[in-house]
Amino acid sequence: MPPVNGRILVINPGATSTKIGVYSEGAEGEAIADFVETVRHPDEELAPFEGRSVQEQRDYRTAQIKAALAKGGFANVKFIAVVGRGGLLPPMPSGTFLVDDALLEELRQARRGEHCSNLGGVLASAFAKEQGVNAYIVDPVSVDEREDIARLSGMPLVPRNSFCHALNTKAIANRFAREQHRSYNKLRLIVIHLGSGNSVSAHRDGRMVDNNSGEEGPLGVDRSGSVPMQPLIKLCFGGKYSEKQVMRMAQGEGGVLAYLGTRDMIEVERRIAAGDKHAETVYESMLYQVAKEAGGMAVVLKGNVDAILLTGGMAYSKLIVSRLTDYLGWIAPVKAYPGEDELLALAEGAFRALSGEEQPKTLRSRLAAL
């Protein structure tokens, strides 16, 4: 299939930055970065938006993105499509979705929570409308391909939700498949994304059939993961802490940060090298819990696992990769893909839609199928 002619704009909003890229498609169908930039949003510039809907940052971030494109020499480029990071949407299958009115309304309403990723489709749509082209999102965090047995929690009023690093997880699984000259649909994989939160997922028959969400599973850099229920209930109703404070303990101020006062895993490794036994215990506990979660995913795959893939920022650490390989190498070969190239994954999804390799889905069709 010949490459798509033209460039696309990719937008990935984070809490304090917005990553952008301009991509074209190569002769072999690969996405090629012509321009990549991280636009920083200092605390003083974000301060006026504190406590307000993330959607109110749209115009501010749009102006920042336009300034970065102009500085990079891409102010007057005619894009053939714009793609943004997906947000907290209803449960959705993996793939590329058209940003239509229904999807925009869902992102603006933020029924499933406020998150910077809710701006991805909104920003993409704004740039796309200026140029008269389509906007897309790819593999939002709400990708849910679980079987029914994986949805029950033990409390009917508290189902297991599927929120994870789906974009990078799926991209790495497909990358491994290409390297092995095999179809992703034929592989049985465990993918471990090691970031501020740790996502561990099982992949079978081209689907992510189970995963821990950001609300459960192993402790992370600043997330508590699963905690004992009865002490948590007492904490919530003890009158000492507000709902907001407890939520922050679970996400944003939990995990390694709560125990050691830092999110910097390089700093933690320095402390361990200097003989800090408490830092070593916390560090090892995180990896122990990640490995236990991966072992559970091996059970999901009935012990038939082709590979265990490590990705995310912490996969740059040779010590972390070594420790997890010690825990998990008996299950299947362990391979590390450090970092997270979400811009590339978004670009690849858009090019699949533009080339006709993939038929873009819509939120309306997904909701109709539920």
List, for residues 64-97, the tens digit of each pLDDT value. 999 999 999 999 899 999 999 988 888 888 899 9
CA 120 centroid distance within chain? 12
The per-residue pLDDT for 117 is 87
Task: Among 57-61, 106-110, 143-147, name the most confident range.
Answer: 57-61
The per-residue pLDDT for 183 is 94
Residue with tokens 């091996």: 298
User: 318: burial class by Cβ within 10 Å (0-12, 13-18, 19+)?
Assistant: exposed
Asked whether residue 3 carries a pLDDT value surpassing 80, the answer given is: no
Q: Residues 285-333: pLDDT tens digits? A: 999 999 999 999 999 999 999 999 999 999 999 999 999 999 999 999 9
Tokens of 23: 């991509």
Q: Residues 331-345: pLDDT tens digits? A: 999 999 998 888 999
Q: Residues 280-291: pLDDT tens digits? A: 999 999 999 999
Q: Residues 140-199: pLDDT tens digits? A: 888 889 988 998 999 999 888 887 788 899 999 989 998 999 999 999 999 999 987 899
Asked whether residue 370 carries a pLDDT value surpassing 50, the answer given is: no
Q: What are phi and psi of 39, to 5 degrees?
A: -90, 115
Domains of the chain: 7-148+342-369 (3.30.420.40), 181-338 (3.30.420.40)
pTM assigned to the model: 0.86
Strands 7-13 and 135-138: what pairing?
A: unpaired
Confidence of residue 2 (pLDDT cuts 50, 70, 90): low
CA angle 284, 288, 293 (to 5 degrees): 150
Q: Which residues contact 148 (CB under 8 A, 6 or more apart)?
A: none
The per-residue pLDDT for 47 is 87
Please name the amino acid found at residue 72: G
Q: Do residues 124 and 346 make contact, with C-beta atoms less than 8 angstroms apart? A: no
The DSSP code for 144 is -
Q: What is the mean pLDDT of the chain?
A: 91
Residue with tokens 């995913």: 297
The per-residue pLDDT for 30 is 81
How far is the C-alpha of 342 from the C-alpha of 326, rounded, in Å?
Answer: 28
| Consecutive H or E run containing 130 | helix 118-131
The per-residue pLDDT for 90 is 86
**End-to-end Cα separation, the chain, in angstroms:** 34
The per-residue pLDDT for 369 is 52
| Consecutive H or E run containing 169 | helix 166-179
Q: What are phi and psi of 333, to 5 degrees?
A: -60, 140
Q: Residues 25-44: pLDDT tens digits? A: 887 778 899 999 999 998 88
The per-residue pLDDT for 315 is 95
Residue with tokens 């102006």: 63
Q: How far from 313 is each of 193, 276, 294, 327, 337, CA to CA, in Å?
A: 8, 23, 18, 19, 9
Please name the amino acid found at residue 46: L
Indicate the range of 104-108, 185-189, 262-266, 362-366 predicted with least confidence.
362-366
How far is the C-alpha of 23 from the C-alpha of 345, rounded, in Å?
Answer: 11
